[in-house]
């Protein structure tokens, strides 16, 4: 396994809608999954989408325990949210592609997501709380959205100004 480079905002791949995975049993895809899991745990993070490591595929890995309970690792291939419920909840989010920034984001409290697992089995998952939020965050990446797209325009403008200054200093 290998650690992958996490692409940082404003990398263009983060603004490109990811392509569907066609062959879930492809050896290169399985290796990518292993590398993404290792990269997510090393970062450390709770989720990682393929575009964040420079690969335009509808694939993400999620473990809200950050590796403390590996049985809670989800590999979602071609995920689609099929239902949301429970109203909306607001909570602070961050992103491995925008390190050091955290904002309050409103998300559906509960969801049902349909996806293919790494063994090629189509399945559905009901999620709430942090897992629901993480799934929505990662699917946003697959749809070329970042969590900063879900904050108010004033906060977004302030973020962009501050981020541009940081990039200029780097």
Average pLDDT score, the chain: 96
pLDDT band for position 169 (cuts 50, 70, 90): confident
CATH of domain 12-169: 3.90.45.10
The model's pLDDT over 116-161, given as tens digits with 9 standing for 90+, comes to: 999 999 999 999 999 999 999 999 999 999 999 999 999 999 999 9
Structure tokens at 125: 């998952």
Q: Could you say which of 27, 83, 138, 166 is catalytic?
A: 138
83 is catalytic: no
DSSP 79-132: EEEEEEEEEEEEEEE--TTSTT--EEEEEEEEEEEEEE-TTS-EEEEEEEHHHH
pLDDT of residue 70: 79
**What is the reported pTM?**
0.96
Alpha carbon distance 108, 88 (integer Å): 4
Residue 16 is classified by DSSP as S
pLDDT of residue 12: 98
pLDDT of residue 147: 98
**Mean of pLDDT values over 72-96:** 97
């Amino acid at each position: 396994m290998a650690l992958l480079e996490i692409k940082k905002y404003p990398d263009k791949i983060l603004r490109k809608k990811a392509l569907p995975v066609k062959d879930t049993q492809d050896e290169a895809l399985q290796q990518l999954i292993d590398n993404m899991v290792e990269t997510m745990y090393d970062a450390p993070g709770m989720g990682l989408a393929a575009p964040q490591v420079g690969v335009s595929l509808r694939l993400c890995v999620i473990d809200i325990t950050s590796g403390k309970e590996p049985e809670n690792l989800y590999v979602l291939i071609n995920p689609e949210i099929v239902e949301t419920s429970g109203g909306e909840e607001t909570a602070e989010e961050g992103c491995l592609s925008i390190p050091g920034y955290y904002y309050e984001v409103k998300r559906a409290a509960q969801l049902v997501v349909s996806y293919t697992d790494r063994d090629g089995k189509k399945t559905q998952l009901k999620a709430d709380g942090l897992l629901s939020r993480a799934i929505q965050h990662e699917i946003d990446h697959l749809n070329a959205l970042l969590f900063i797209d879900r904050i108010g325009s004033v906060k977004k403008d302030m973020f962009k100004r501050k981020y541009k200054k940081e990039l200029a200093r780097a």
